[in-house]
Amino acid sequence: MSKFHVIIPAAGSGSRMGSQIPKQYLLLGGRPLIQTTLAVFVNCPRISSLTLVISPEDQLWDDANIPLADKVKLVRQGGATRAATVLNGLHALQEQAQPDDWILVHDAARPGLSAAMLNQLLDTLKDDAIGGLLAVPLADTLKRADHEQRVASTEPRDGLWLAQTPQMFRYDLLKRALIACGDKPTDEAQAVEALGFKPKLVAGELRNLKITYPQDLVLAEAILRAECAE
C-alpha cells in the first residue's frame, strides 16, 4: 500500500509580508506560525513522514526552539526557488519513499488546513491515476490591469479556481515533473501539467488561506480564536 509523505518548503523570505523575519516565524496564537502548519500532519496517523526544508542560513529555526515529532525530518537544503526546494526535499526522501508513494507538498505559511480537509484530500486522491490539489472556485469578479493599474478587461471566472495546498502526486511523477520544468513552475501542479497530465481539483475551504499580507495574519488569528472558543 502506498504511503503518504509530506514536504513543506520553508526557505522563502516572505517579502510581500513586509516583515523583518520570514512569515513562517511570525507568531500565531502565541507560537511560530510554522508550528501550527506542522501540527495537522504530525497529528494525522495516515502521514508516514514529514520533511521540512529550510534555508541553510536559517538561524531563526534554531532560535524558535520548536519541538519536532519523530516522523519529522529537518533538511537544511532550501533552494533559490520553491521548485528547487521541493526537489531537494524529494532527494532527501529517496531512501524512504517508494516511486508510487504519495507526496503532499504544503505551504509553510498556510496554517489553516484542518484535519477534515486533509483527510478529504487523501480519500479523494488515494486511488487517482494522477493526483491533484486542494482548491477553491473563484467567487469574485476578476479584473485584468494595464500598466497604469486601470482595468484593461473583465475576465470570465467560469471554471477558474484558486489553487491551495497540499498538492498531492506520486513520488516518481512529481520528481520527473520538477526535473523537467526546472525553476519555472510556481506550484507542483503546474509542473505536472507541463508533462501533459490533468491534476484533479479537490474542493478546499477559505480558512486554508496562505499568509501573504499582514491582514491575512489577522484573519488567521480570528479563525484560531473562534475555534478555541467553541
The model's pLDDT over 194-203, given as tens digits with 9 standing for 90+, comes to: 999 999 999 9
Q: b/e string for 80-92 if b means 16 or more Cβ within 10 A?
A: ebbbbbbbbbbeb
Q: Could you give the 3-state DSSP secondary structure of residue 163? A: strand
43 phi and psi, to 5 degrees?
A: -85, -5
Q: What is the CATH number of domain 4-229?
A: 3.90.550.10
Peptide bond before residue 45 is cis, with ω within 30 degrees of 0? no
User: From CA 12, how far away is CA 104, in angstroms rounded?
Assistant: 18
Query: Across residues 186-195, what is the average pLDDT?
Result: 97
User: From CA 186, how far away is CA 9, in angstroms rounded?
Assistant: 12
Look at the block and give the residue holding cell 519536532: 68
Tell me the per-residue pLDDT of 33-45, one tens digit each, with 9 for 90 and over: 999 999 999 999 9
Q: How far apart are the first and last CA of the chain?
A: 37
Of 230, 206, 229, which is closest to residue 112 (Cα–Cα)?
206
Look at the block and give the residue holding cell 490533468: 198
Q: Is the pLDDT of residue 229 over 70?
A: no
Residue ranges per domain, the chain? 4-229
Contact at 8 Å (CB) between 189 and 167? Answer: yes
Residue 105 has what pLDDT?
Answer: 98
pTM for the complete prediction? 0.94
C-alpha cell at 47: 502521514
Where are the extended beta strands (E) located within the chain? 4-10, 27-28, 31-32, 47-54, 72-75, 102-105, 131-137, 142-145, 151-155, 161-170, 200-203
C-alpha cell at 110: 498556510
Chain centroid, CA 90 distance in Å:
15
Confidence of residue 82 (pLDDT cuts 50, 70, 90): very high
Q: Is the pLDDT of residue 16 over 80?
A: no
Strand 151-155 relative to strand 142-145, pairing = antiparallel
Q: Is the pLDDT of residue 30 over 80?
A: yes
Residue 13 has what pLDDT?
Answer: 62
Lowest mean pLDDT among 48-62, 115-129, 216-230: 216-230
Residue 177 has what pLDDT?
Answer: 98
Residue 12 has what pLDDT?
Answer: 74
In percent, the amount of the chain with pLDDT more than 70 equals: 96
Q: Is the pLDDT of residue 18 over 60?
A: no
Query: Across residues 49-66, what is the average pLDDT?
Result: 95
Confidence of residue 227 (pLDDT cuts 50, 70, 90): confident
Tell me the per-residue pLDDT of 149-161, one tens digit each, with 9 for 90 and over: 999 999 998 999 9
